[in-house]
A and B are shown apart, each in its own frame.
Chain A
Amino acid sequence: GQQVMQIPQYQHVQEGEDFTTYCNSSTTLSNIQWYKQRPGGHPVFLIQLVKSGEVKKQKRLTFQFGEAKKNSSLHITATQTTDVGTYFCAPPQKLVFGQGTRLTINP
Chain B
Amino acid sequence: DGGITQSPKYLFRKEGQNVTLSCEQNLNHDAMYWYRQDPGQGLRLIYYSQIVNDFQKGDIAEGYSVSREKKESFPLTVTSAQKNPTAFYLCASSLTETSTDTQYFGPGTRLTVL
Question: A residues engaging B (CB < 8 A)?
Answer: 1, 6, 30-31, 33, 35, 41-45, 48, 50, 88, 90, 92-100, 102
Contact = CB atoms under 8 A, between A and B. Distances in A.
A95 B99 contact: no
A44 B106 CA distance: 10
Contacts of B108: 42
Contacts of A44: 105
Nearest to A97: B43
Given A42-B107, A43-B43, A43-B90, A96 B59 contact: yes
B44 interface: yes
A100 B105 contact: no
Given A48-B102, A94-B103, A95-B58, A42 B42 contact: no
A44 B4 CA distance: 12
Main secondary structure of the interface of B (DSSP, over half): loop
A25 B58 CA distance: 20
Given A92-B99, A92-B100, A94-B45, 20 more contacts: A30-B99, A30-B100, A31-B100, A33-B102, A35-B103, A42-B105, A42-B106, A42-B108, A43-B103, A43-B105, A45-B102, A48-B100, A50-B100, A88-B42, A94-B48, A96-B45, A97-B42, A97-B43, A99-B42, A102-B40
B55 interface: no
Nearest to B99: A92
Dominant SS at the A interface? loop
Interface of B: 33, 35, 40-45, 48, 58-59, 90, 92, 99-100, 102-108
A104 to B, nearest CB: 12
A99 B33 CA distance: 18
B41 to A, nearest CB: 7
Contacts of A6: 42
A2 to B, nearest CB: 9
B43 A96 contact: yes
A95 B104 contact: no
